[in-house]
Amino acid sequence: MQDRPNIVIIMADQLAPHFTRAYGHKTAKTPHMDALAARGMRFDAAYCNSPLCAPSRFSFMSGQLISRIAAYDNATEFRASVPTFAHYLTSLGYRTCLSGKMHFVGPDQKHGFQDRVTTDIYPADFAWTPDWEAHDERIDRWYHNMSAVTESGMAIATFQTDFDDETGFAARRWLIDRGRDRGAGDPRPFALVASFMHPHDPYVAKPEFWDMYSDDEIDMPEFVLPLDQQDPHSRRVMDGIQASDATLTDEQVRRARRAYLANVSYFDSKVGEIVDALSDIGQLHNTVIIVTADHGDMLGERGLWYKMNFFEHSARVPLIMAGPGVARGRAGNACSLVDMLPTLVEIAGGDVSALGAPIDGRSLMPLARGEEDPVDEAIGEYCAEMTPYPILMIRRGPLKYIHCDPDPPQLYDLAMDPGERMNLATDPAHAETARAFADEVAARWDSEALRRDVIATQKARRALHAAMEAGSGEHWDYNPPSDASQQYVRNHMDWTTAAARYRFPPLKDGG
């Protein structure tokens, strides 16, 4: 088993690649991501499949688009019957673990991971269910607003830093235990997902990371549209997050962006801790490390904040791979998080023909090896809050097409217009291309049927949540198992035996 590499995935939340030094940002301080990119493959057109936490993660785990598995929003159940890469890696003989966030909703809180060493940070029930029949009404209890921008700054601790510090500690301890296992003769490869909350808003940073930056080096948004020039969905999002009526000062925008960059550096420090742990157990050379995120953050670009749209800062994700079998370079083909499942199965020596469900992705290992890939495509679907209809995206080659039934279509040439300033959908010179994309959308999706299913699941989930609030059933929030009677040194143990078991590296025979 030792000839198969270990796999470690380090996942950020709401990290746009544009705000990392590894992807060219001049101010961002991300030395650990930079080092991985320098010795591995940087994917320059990687996308999430839905620009919202839970649906993106469910696509990432399953290799399936959200419309296939009905994973529409942050309160959609991730069904236990959906196979994940954790199931497949476990079946292939890997020891698997999740540390940190995955926003699983429903009673299955492991989805194939043998070990889960932390709780999650967000609720596992149906509390955050949107209502498409009243899509323009705010749900104040959990909708974003602009306080994350106006209250940005420093703090010694937040609920997010508490969670990420726990996630990092638990991930490192689990890796050290795998080193102990190997010292005791267990050669199984391992697969760890360490999933952090930062740099997700609120934009509040620890002082040591805030102090890594100064106000005068913080770049401001490059392209801001006035409210009356925003497309209809952007207007809906701005209304939903209460940005339409907000007047932000340059100082507030700058502070939010400084805190975000500080939290990018904080996440990068966690990348470094995990790389160090792999080195400590002697497995860095035999581990494929993947750094990615569930979606990005507009961070004021176009006048938008957070995510929930298919513009580049929201929909693009970093994707860096390094380790055995991975070449050094950059991959320009469009790809997405649904591609991770077949990629991981190939790394683990498996065959996608044995998968238990259809998948929507392809392995990225040819690109990772520096080979040609005929596929240059990413597909996106958004079926959550602040829209009355599905929003659908096709990125193929340099072109991106965005469709929503009640809205005018959008077409961008990202090679010529990386800032997405010019919608070509109504340009006569691009009429044939726009028409072809429109025909493809109609062939790929039945938007009306998808909308009906979204609304039906929303009604059912709201009814179930009301029953759960009234006392029906057990809560689903994950409690990591812990048995203190078996930890450290206890009366039934020989303390010298326990000391030897915990010591890493172990003493060689004879001391």
Which residue's structure tokens are 């759960």?
Answer: 468
Closest to 192 (Cα-Cα) out of 3, 6, 1, 5: 6
Distance CA 37, CA 268 (A): 13
CB burial of residue 136 (10 Å; 0-12, 13-18, 19+): exposed
Distance CA 362, CA 340 (A): 8
**Known catalytic residue: 103?**
yes
Distance CA 463, CA 478 (A): 22
Which residue's structure tokens are 């994917």?
Answer: 43
Closest to 99 (Cα-Cα) out of 353, 295, 277: 277
**Known catalytic residue: 53?**
yes
What is the bridge-based pairing of β-strands 95-100 and 190-199?
Answer: parallel
Contact 120, 101 (CB under 8 A): yes
| Residue 425 CA from chain centroid, whole number | 30
3-class secondary structure, 8:
strand
Contact 201, 264 (CB under 8 A): no
What is the bridge-based pairing of β-strands 391-396 and 399-404?
Answer: antiparallel
How much is the CA Rg of the chain, to the nearest whole Å? Answer: 23
Distance CA 363, CA 114 (A): 24
Q: Which of 18, 32, 48, 53 is catalytic?
A: 53
Contact 225, 298 (CB under 8 A): no
3-class secondary structure, 237:
helix
Distance CA 365, CA 198 (A): 28
3-class secondary structure, 156:
coil
Q: Which of 18, 32, 87, 103 is catalytic?
A: 103
Cβ-Cβ contacts under 8 Å for 204 (sequence gap 6 or more): 151, 152, 153, 154, 155, 158, 160, 259
Closest to 504 (Cα-Cα) out of 175, 97, 99, 118: 175
Distance CA 437, CA 39 (A): 37
Q: Supply the DSSP symbol for 417.
A: -
Contact 11, 293 (CB under 8 A): yes
Active-site residue list: 53, 103
